[in-house]
Structure formats: structure tokens, C-alpha cells
Amino acid sequence: MAHTSDAAATPSMRRAIPSSLFAVCFALACINATFFPAGLLSGVWIWGADGLGIPTDFVNVWAAGKLALQGHPALAWDWDVQRRIELDLLGQDFPGYFAWHYPPPFLFVAALLAQFPYVIAFASWAYASFIPFALVMRAIVGRSFGLLLAAGFPALFSNTLVGQNGCLTAALVGGTLYLLPVRPVLAGICLGLLTYKPQYGLLFPIVLIASQRWTVFASASITAVLLALVSWLAFGLESWQAFVHWMPAFSQAFLTEGKATWWKLQSLFSMVRYFGGSEALGWTVQWVFTAAVAVVLVIVWRSPVRYALKAAALAVGLLLTTPYLFMYDMMVQAIAVAWLVRIGLSEGFRRYELPALGGSAALQITFMVSGIPLGLASNLIVGGLVLARAGGWWRRQPADVHAVPAAA
């Protein structure tokens, strides 16, 4: 059977960007581009007009980095010590905790940022982490429109507002998927760097094994091991011991007691809890659904379906299978959308695709203004679009393990 691949579109074949798609992305990009500089100057972002720091997620990154620079990296996982650093920095109290729960390698990022004043570190992180995300989106879409799509993606607002790492996560997921067919070693390095988000560590190995991408698998494994070793040397064995010690407390607080409140999470597990279901029911439903998604992905990746759809399916599958999913994590959905847009700009959009993508974006925006957890529905819409494009993905046919994406 001939290898399937995304044929490179010649200039005469490249379709015009639909006006509705361009208008929506342009409007959202303008909002993102103007709100944050204006918010910083007016005291509604990072630092308040009252001279006090605004309590938000990035404070735990800066505080953890400060502890690492002071020679006490293991204390970053101690909730009480971490909170004291945060209170001293912000100058005001806040309910609950902004706890540090990342594996030790992410302390390299935190320590780098903590060398700068808080406002500079926060703003620099927000804008610097956007750059690799935008470049990956440009590469996937295959046109400069990818930059506008990146700047106008709805979840970008939530991510930037709280100083989270959604852009970096999306860049690494997107980089892995874009490079996987043509630069497997580099793809593996991107995947290895993604280990700071262990909740994404289930589907990638399954798909790589199912599609026999052994070079990527080995490269990712070596990168992850080296990263862990370097962090051990830099921050000591105590940092890994602290991470392992505090993880059960974190899981208990967020996934059992709902300390972050269920409406903030966007997973199937949290949806069950949001509507009053028990923890046991939530886990049962989540794991059954996760198994179903994993099976579908194995079939898709072993089928002759075009690579763009395989990549999009895996990107949205990552979001559907983790119980711990905040709106800023929805940045990964942008990678799946970029692959769909790439196909649409090459072959034309089906009549339902742009309205469906608009509906997915509207659900994310609705969450921001209402607090209703609609991220799961948004991901299901994108997942449905991917499967609809894939057509007969369930048919058992010889797998194409060497398909490559089109040149940009």
C-alpha cells in the first residue's frame, strides 16, 4: 500500500482563509494583545492599584524559585513554607494555597524566573512562553495565519491572566507531534521535556508503542532520565523525596476534597463531582472513558489515516484522559485545532466545521465569564471533528508508520 501523507499544497491550491475564521481570531487576538498591557498599567493584572500583589497561580512559581535560589529547594513542596514566601511577596492574605506540585526539573524554570522582580518575571514568562507556542502553531498550520490563530485562541486569556504554563505545554506537545515523523530524535526530546506534566504521560507511550516509533520512544526516555538526573544533582535527592512525599496530599486536596472547587476543573472526573457524584463514581467513569480513548487512538495510529488527523486525535485525547485539567491546560487543544485548520485550508472546510470550532471557542469564553465548567464539552466537539474527518478510522488496515506531514 502506498504511504499516506499530507500532500503539500501548491500556491494555486492554497485556499483563502475564511473571513469568519479570520475575523474571530483577529478580534480575540486584539483583546489578548491590548488587555494585558492595559491591565498591568491600570492595576488589574499582576500588581493591584493598591500596591499589593494580586494572588494568582504564578506566585507559586516565583516562590518556589526563590527557595531554590536560597538553597532550600525541597521546601518548595512544603505548603506552609511556600505560603509564607507568597504572603511576604504579595503583601496580602488570600484563601487556600498556591501550592508547588511540579517535579524537580521544573525548578530550573522557577529559579530562572525568581532572579527577576516579580512583575518582570510574571510578564516575561507570559510573553516568552507564548513565542515557542506561536512558532509551533505557525509550523503546523503551514501559513502565517497560524500566528494569528495562536494569538486568538480563547484559552490563552486564562493562561496569561494567571501566569500559567499552558503555552509551554502546548508548544512541547505540538513540537513533538510536528517533528515526530521527520525528526524523531528532536520529537523525543520535546516529549522528554514534557515530563514536568506527568498527567500527559499515559497516552504518548501507548501510541508510540502501537505505531512502532521506537526512536522517539528511546529519545524521550533518555531525555527524561537525563533531566531527572540533572535536577537531582542541582537540587539534591531531598527535592525528589519532597515531591514524592507531598504528591498524595496534593491529590487528596484537589481530586478527593475538591479544594480547587470542581467548577475550575474541565475533566470528566470533575464533571461527575460537580454534579454531586461520588469520588468512586468519578474515577470509574474517568477510567472507563480513558480506556476507550486509548483504544480509539491505537486504532487510529495503526490505520492509514493521514498523519494530521492522528496528531490532532492524540492532542485532544491528552485532554480527555486526564482528571486534572484546568482551563489553562486547554491550550493543548489549540494544537488539535491547528491540524484541523491545516486540512481545512488545504482542502476546504466542511460546512459544519467552522460553526463547530466557533462553538468550541464559545464554550471556553463562556467558562471565563460564568464559571460553568464547559471545557469537557469543548474538547468533545474538537474530538468529534477529528473523528469525522478521519472517516473509516476503525477499519483494520496496514499501518503507515512513516507518513510525514506536508512541507509548510
| Per-residue model confidence as pLDDT tens digits over 245-269 | 999 988 888 888 888 889 999 999 9
Residue 362: Cβ-neighbour burial (10 angstroms; 0-12, 13-18, 19+):
middle
Report pLDDT digits (tens) over 134-156.
999 999 999 999 999 999 999 99
User: Domain ranges in the chain?
Assistant: 19-45+129-390
166: left (phi over 0), alpha (psi -120 to 50) or beta: alpha
Q: How far is Cα 68 from Cα 70, in angstroms, rounded to an integer?
A: 5
Q: How far is Cα 117 from Cα 22, in angstroms, rounded to an integer?
A: 37
Q: What is the pLDDT of residue 365?
A: 95
Is the pLDDT at 10 greater than 60, yes or no?
A: no
- Listed residue (395, 380, 329) closest to 166, CA to CA: 329
Mean pLDDT of 39-50: 94
Q: What is the pLDDT of residue 11?
A: 40
Angle at 245 between CA 196 and CA 166, to 5 degrees: 25
Q: What is the pLDDT of residue 251?
A: 86
Q: What is the pLDDT of residue 67?
A: 97
Mean pLDDT of 230-254: 93
Mean pLDDT of 91-106: 92
Q: What is the pLDDT of residue 7?
A: 37
Q: What is the pLDDT of residue 255?
A: 85
Mean pLDDT of 4-25: 68
Is the pLDDT at 319 greater than 80, yes or no?
A: yes
